[in-house]
C-alpha cells in the first residue's frame, strides 16, 4: 500500500505572528546576508548573498542583463542552460567583465593600430578606453591610453595610427603594482581621472581601475561581488552535457552552478554532482534539486550539493502536478526540508542552505519562506516582469506586459531538462506560456520588496535571517481569514484596482 502523508499547504495558508520588537528592531539594524553554499560549524560560508533573492534558470528570466542588475542589488542570477554552451558561457563572461576593482584589460592595441581597427574592436567589446602597449597584450609595456575623447570619427582618417591620437605615457597618471583599491580610487579623484592604469616596476601594464566602478558601487551598497570586485553570477547545468558545459562555465568565471531539473531525486543528478565535486576537488560550488521532502534532501546532501533547491510544481507557469501528479504544497515541503537540514547540521556539523523555488505570488510569501527555514528564494515570474529580463514587452488589452514561458514548454526547447521526448519536441509539456504585468526597473522593485522583508523582520523581533529561522511564529489560517486579509467590504478606488498584479 502506498505511504500516505498529511495534507500539504501553500504560503497563502499561513501568517506570521508578531514577536516583541524592542527599540533595537529598526530597519537600519537588519542584516539580510545569507549563506549561499554549505559550511562547517564555526566557519564562514565561502559564498554569501547580501539579499536572499535568486532568479530562476529560465530563458524568459535570467540572462546577463538581469544577472548584472540583480547582483547590484545583492542577489544572484542563474543563467539559463537551455542554450548552446558557448552562448551560456559568453553570458557569464559578460557579467564578470561588467565591473571590477582591478580589471585586466581585454581591449589592447599597439601604436601602429589604425583608428579603423580601434572602432572595430570597440564595437566588439563595447569598450572605448584602450591601453596602448608595445605588443598589444594586457601585460605589455604601457605606451599610452586611447579613449573616445581622443578622436572625432568625422574628422580623422580611419587609417590614422593610434600613436598620433593617444595620450602618451609621460602624460599619464599611473598607480604602482601593489596599490590598494582605496588608494587607486583616491588617485582617480585627486587627478580627476576616468581610468587609472596600474603598472609594475618595469612599466608593464597590470590592470586598470575605473571611476565608474567606484561610483556604481557607492550607488549600490548591497552589490554582490567576488574577491576581485567583479559581480557574482550563477549558471544552470543539465544532466546530459555537463561534462562539456561545466568546464566552459568555469573558464568563463562562473561563481556557482545549479543542476536544473524538475526532479532532483535521481541517479542522473547524483552523477552530475559527483562529476563536479570530483573533477574540481570540491572547489567549484554547485547546488542540486528540486526535492520536496526529507529523503530528497538527505540524498542531495550525501551527493555533495552545496545548497538544495526545494519545490516541485509550485511555479506560476508550471503544470507538473497537473500533468504528472507529482509535487507538494510549497510551505509543507519547505518546513519538512528545513527540519531535515537542521537535523543534518546537528549530526554532521555541516549546514546546507536551502532555496525555496516556486509558489511565491506575493511579496509577503518571501518572508514566509524565510521564516519557514529557507536561506534564500528563487523566483521566475517576479523577475520576468522587469526591464532587464530578456523577454519581449508588448501590449495586451491596453496594458503593458512581458512574455513569460516555462522551461517545460516546447517553446523553450529544453529537452535536456526533461528525460522524455525526442529531438524536436516534448511528448507532453510541463509548463505553459503567458504574460506577466510589466513592472519597470528591477532595482526599484527589489528595493521595495526588501523594505517589506526588513519591516516584517522587525515586527517579528529578528535582525537576521538566522534569527528569523529560530524565532518566527507561524499560524495556519482559515479560508475566511484569507478573505479577511485583503481589502474587503468596500468599493475600491481606481488607484487600488489599477495596480493589482
Give yes or no for residue 308 having a pLDDT over 90.
Answer: yes
d(CA 446, CA 449) in angstroms, rounded, equals 5
User: CA-to-CA distance for 62 and 76, rounded, in angstroms?
Assistant: 10
| pLDDT value of residue 428 | 65
232 — pLDDT class (breaks 50, 70, 90): very high
- pLDDT of 474: 97
| Stretch (H or E) spanning 459 | helix 442-459
pLDDT at 501 over 50: no
**How far apart, in whole angstroms, are the C-alpha atoms of residue 446 and residue 75?**
10
pLDDT computed for residue 417 by the predictor:
54
Residue 63, pLDDT score: 96
From residue 464, give the alpha-carbon distance in Å to each of 44, 50, 471: 15, 11, 10
More confidently predicted of 149 and 464: 464
* pLDDT, average across residues 95-121: 89
Confidence (pLDDT) at 315: 78
pLDDT tops 60 at residue 27:
yes
CA dihedral 434→439→443→448, nearest 10 degrees, is -110
Residue 319 has pLDDT above 80, yes or no: no
Tens-digit pLDDT profile for residues 149-193: 999 888 889 999 999 999 999 999 999 998 988 898 899 999 999
- pLDDT exceeds cutoff 50 at 261: yes
Residues 358 and 282: their CA atoms lie apart, in Å, by: 28
pLDDT of residue 432: 72
Mean pLDDT of all residues in 35-39: 98
| pLDDT, average across residues 255-261 | 96
What's the pLDDT score for residue 420?
45
The residue ranking higher by pLDDT, 423 or 63, is 63
Phi-psi region of 412 (alpha: psi -120 to 50; beta: other; left: phi over 0): alpha
Lowest mean pLDDT: which of 207-221, 253-267, 287-301, 313-327? 313-327
Q: Average the pLDDT over 63-74 and give the result.
A: 97
Asked whether residue 421 carries a pLDDT value surpassing 80, the answer given is no
DSSP assignment of 1-65: -----PPP--GGGEEEEPPP--TT--GGG-B--EESS-EETTSPPSSEESSSEEE-S-TTT-SHH
Instruction: Quote the strand ranges of 321-381, DSSP E.
Output: 350-351, 354-357, 376-379
The predicted pLDDT at position 491 comes to 83
Nearest 5°: CA angle at 354, between 366 and 272? 130
Residue range 8-20, pLDDT digits in tens: 999 999 999 999 9
419 pLDDT higher than 70: no
Gap between the Cα atoms of 70 and 96, Å rounded:
13
| Mean of pLDDT values over 213-220 | 80
Q: What local confidence, expressed as pLDDT, does residue 371 receive? A: 98
Average pLDDT over the chain reads 91
What does the DSSP 8-state code read for residue 170?
Answer: G
Residues with a known catalytic role: 318, 417
Q: What pLDDT score was predicted for residue 415?
A: 47
- In the block, cell 597590470 appears at 206
Between 410 and 37, whose confidence is greater?
A: 37
Is the pLDDT at 272 greater than 80? The verdict is yes
**pTM above the 0.85 mark?**
no
The 10 Å Cβ neighbour count of residue 344 is: 20
pLDDT-based confidence at residue 431 (cuts at 50, 70, 90): low
Mean pLDDT of 229-255: 96
pLDDT category at 6 given cuts 50, 70, 90 is: confident
Amino acid at each position: 500500500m502506498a505511504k500516505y502523508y498529511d495534507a500539504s499547504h501553500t504560503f497563502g495558508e499561513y501568517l506570521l505572528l508578531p514577536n516583541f520588537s524592542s527599540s533595537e528592531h529598526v530597519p537600519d539594524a537588519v542584516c539580510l546576508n545569507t549563506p549561499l553554499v554549505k559550511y562547517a560549524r564555526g566557519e564562514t560560508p565561502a559564498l554569501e548573498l547580501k539579499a536572499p533573492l535568486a532568479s530562476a534558470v529560465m530563458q524568459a528570466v535570467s540572462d546577463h542583463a538581469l544577472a548584472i542588475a540583480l547582483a547590484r542589488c545583492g542577489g544572484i542570477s542563474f543563467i539559463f542552460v537551455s542554450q548552446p554552451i558557448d552562448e551560456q558561457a559568453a553570458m557569464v563572461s559578460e557579467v564578470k567583465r561588467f565591473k571590477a576593482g582591478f580589471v585586466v584589460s581585454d581591449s589592447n592595441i599597439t601604436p601602429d593600430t589604425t583608428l579603423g581597427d580601434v572602432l572595430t574592436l570597440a564595437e566588439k567589446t563595447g569598450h572605448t578606453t584602450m591601453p596602448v602597449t608595445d605588443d598589444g597584450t594586457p601585460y605589455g609595456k604601457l605606451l599610452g591610453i586611447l579613449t573616445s575623447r581622443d578622436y572625432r570619427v568625422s574628422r580623422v582618417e580611419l587609417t590614422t595610427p593610434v600613436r598620433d591620437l593617444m595620450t602618451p605615457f609621460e602624460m599619464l597618471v599611473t598607480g604602482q603594482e601593489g596599490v590598494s583599491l582605496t588608494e587607486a580610487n583616491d588617485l582617480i579623484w585627486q587627478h580627476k581621472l576616468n581610468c587609472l592604469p596600474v603598472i609594475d616596476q618595469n612599466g608593464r601594464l597590470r590592470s586598470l581601475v575605473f571611476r565608474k566602478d567606484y561610483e556604481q558601487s557607492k550607488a549600490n551598497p548591497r552589490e554582490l561581488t567576488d574577491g576581485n570586485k567583479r559581480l557574482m553570477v550563477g549558471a544552470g547545468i543539465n544532466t546530459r552535457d555537463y561534462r562539456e558545459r561545466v568546464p566552459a562555465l568555469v573558464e568563463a568565471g562562473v561563481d556557482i552552478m545549479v543542476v536544473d531539473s524538475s526532479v532532483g531525486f535521481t541517479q542522473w543528478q547524483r552523477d552530475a554532482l559527483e562529476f563536479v565535486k570530483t573533477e574540481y576537488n570540491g572547489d567549484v560550488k554547485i547546488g542540486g534539486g528540486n526535492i520536496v521532502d526529507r529523503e530528497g534532501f538527505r540524498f542531495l546532501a550525501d551527493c555533495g550539493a552545496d545548497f538544495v533547491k526545494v519545490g516541485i510544481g509550485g511555479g506560476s507557469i508550471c503544470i507538473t502536478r497537473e500533468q504528472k501528479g507529482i509535487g507538494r504544497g510549497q510551505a509543507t515541503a519547505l518546513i519538512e526540508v528545513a527540519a531535515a537540514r537542521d537535523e543534518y547540521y546537528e549530526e554532521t556539523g555541516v549546514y546546507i542552505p536551502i532555496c525555496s523555488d516556486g509558489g511565491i505570488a506575493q511579496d509577503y510569501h518571501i518572508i514566509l519562506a524565510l521564516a519557514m527555514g529557507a536561506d534564500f528564494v528563487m523566483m521566475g515570474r517576479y523577475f520576468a516582469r522587469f526591464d532587464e529580463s530578456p523577454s519581449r514587452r508588448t501590449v495586451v488589452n491596453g496594458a503593458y506586459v512581458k512574455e513569460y514561458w516555462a522551461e517545460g514548454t516546447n517553446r523553450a526547447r529544453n529537452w535536456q531538462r526533461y528525460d522524455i521526448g525526442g529531438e524536436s519536441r516534448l511528448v507532453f509539456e510541463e509548463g505553459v506560456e503567458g504574460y506577466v504585468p510589466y513592472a519597470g526597473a528591477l532595482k526599484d522593485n527589489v528595493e521595495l520588496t526588501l523594505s517589506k522583508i526588513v519591516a516584517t523582520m522587525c515586527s517579528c523581533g529578528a535582525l537576521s535571517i538566522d534569527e528569523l529561522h529560530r524565532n518566527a511564529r507561524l499560524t495556519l489560517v482559515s479560508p475566511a481569514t484569507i478573505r479577511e486579509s485583503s481589502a474587503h467590504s468596500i468599493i475600491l478606488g481606481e488607484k487600488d484596482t489599477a495596480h493589482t498584479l
